Amino acid sequence: QYEAGVGGCFFTKTKSEIYLFFNLVCDPADVISTVEFNQTGEFLATGDKGGRVVIFQREPQGEYNVYSTFQSHEPEFDYLKSLEIEEKINKIRWLPPHNPAHFLLSTNDKTVKLWKVSEKDKRAEGYNLRDEEGRLKDLSTITTLQVPVLRPMDLLVEASPRRVFANAHAYHINSISVNSDCETYLSADDLRINLWHLNITDRSFNIVDLKPENMEDLSEVITVAEFHPHHCHLLAFSSSTGTTRLCDMRARALCDQHAKLFEEAVDPSRRSFFSEIVSSVSDVKFSHSGRYLLTRDYLTVKVWDLNMENKPVETYQVHDYLQTKLCSLYESDCIFDKFECTWNGTDSVIMTGAYNNYFRMFDRASLRDVTLEASREVCKRRAVLQPRRVCVGKKRKETDVSVDSLDFRKKILHTAWHPKENIIAIAASNNLYIFQDRLTPNGHHNMPEIQSAPPK
């Protein structure tokens, strides 16, 4: 039995619980492609390969329930390039709240949309020119004028598109990030990063362009980009060569020259055919404090201090046991999987996904780590979520899992951490798991339970 952490700690040595489990219809379109908490943690948004966005709201008792579902993107066809454009939602980003309505950005490969999600609990009645069903009245029958009044109605959550930002990317959009000025955001594809104003849809500013004059000279592509959480002039983007660049928009309008370059030298004696592939950065996240950068490549997560470029201050092995499996992973294309990473609310713990529906957590202070599993098999009421261990050799405990028995079709690519509490969201194929570390009113740890909700 393990005990859950509090505050800035996490589920290492944990009696953590799965208090909510959503089992979606088993269909390729239902595979979750992105997960994102809003700034307060009250709402959680997921996007899937079918172009749908599902928003969950936290209830007073602590559980998350479906708040709104809407179709964000539809499949399209580019007739000029004879190219199908998938409806898959690549990223979702919440805008900071300024009124009772909620705003979020969602993107597929080509188009970014700004959505407004609002509640409606009153309706107007008593129109002069229309009846209760909305049909126009016969003007000859109108003999008096009346003032429409608002009547209570059942709560209705409406999602409406407010802006559509299109026709600015020749390649697939891989990331979007809202600036701290709350007025602009960036969208990045394989070779370019564009800066948008939230109120202007017909033009954007190209701030990074890696496209060479001759495409045969192409040596790297952009994998992810993100704005600094506090300084609106700073942004970071990573590439397939394992480098992360910090750009300062105060220095140049076109950030073709970086302010800092974060790159770790590779030991020539350890270089192999797969070195460049596994060093490709799949995700980058600024810490909440803004001092550190978290990057994820295929085998590791690294923490970089913005004041030190030559090497990371911390390196954590996610699944080092896959070193001997790289050849088979290359043949199955698994080596190109893009794993995300995330910080907890106090920047003290790091979380990222792995194979076999495992996800990993690393405590930066104690250097402890834990492997946990998100699967339907562990969803039994009042069960305890047990740490897992992957073993390479033949000698292992009964509870250990052999590296040869890992299921590489099951993978945790998308994760999110509540900005203030120990609540995490894990997307495993078409299933969404929400884990919470619960405490008793006196602050002591409570025996966790596993609750299973009916399919949504």
What would the mean pLDDT of 185-198 be, rounded to a whole number? Answer: 97
pLDDT digits (tens, 9 = 90+) for 218-239: 999 999 999 999 999 999 999 9
One-letter amino acid at 79 equals Y
What's the rounded Cα separation, in Å, for the pair 370 and 346?
Answer: 18
Q: pTM here?
A: 0.84
Q: How far is Cα 149 from Cα 387, in angstroms, rounded to an integer?
A: 59
Structure confidence at residue 353 (pLDDT): 96
Confidence of residue 14 (pLDDT cuts 50, 70, 90): very low
CA angle 364, 370, 376 (to 5 degrees): 135
Q: What percent of the chain has pLDDT over 70?
A: 88
Residue 455 is classified by DSSP as P
* Gap between the Cα atoms of 380 and 393, Å rounded: 31
CA separation, residue 439 to residues 15, 344, 448 (Å): 11, 18, 9
Does 436 score more than 90 pLDDT?
Answer: no
Pairing of strands 401-402, 390-391: parallel
How, if at all, do strands 205-209 and 222-227 pair? unpaired
pLDDT at 26: 59
What's the CA gap between 192 and 197, in Å, rounded? 17
Query: Average of pLDDT values for 194-213?
Result: 95
Return the DSSP state at 271: -
Question: Residue 382: its pLDDT value, please?
Answer: 52
Average pLDDT estimate for 287-307: 96
pLDDT above 90: percentage of residues in the chain: 65
Q: What is the mean pLDDT of residues 76-81?
A: 85
The pLDDT, as a whole number, for residue 441 is 41
Distances in whole angstroms, Cα of residue 245 to Cα of each of 239, 304, 312, 364, 401: 8, 12, 14, 24, 38
DSSP letters spanning 209-266: E---SSGGG----EEEEEE-SS-TTEEEEEETTS-EEEEETTT-SS--S-SEEE-PPP
End-to-end C-alpha distance for the chain, whole angstroms: 32
- pLDDT greater than 60 at residue 200: yes
Q: What value does the mean pLDDT take over residues 373-397?
A: 74
Task: Please write the tens of the pLDDT for every residue from 254-277.
Answer: 998 899 999 988 777 778 889 899
CB neighbour list of residue 31: distance below 8 Å, 6 or more residues apart: 48, 49, 429, 430
Are 211 and 146 in contact, with CB atoms under 8 Å apart?
A: no
Is residue 98 classed exposed, middle or buried when 0-12, 13-18 and 19+ CB atoms within 10 A define those classes?
exposed
For residue 384, the model assigns a pLDDT of: 66
Average pLDDT of every residue of the chain = 86
Residue 439's beta-bridge partner residues? Answer: 445
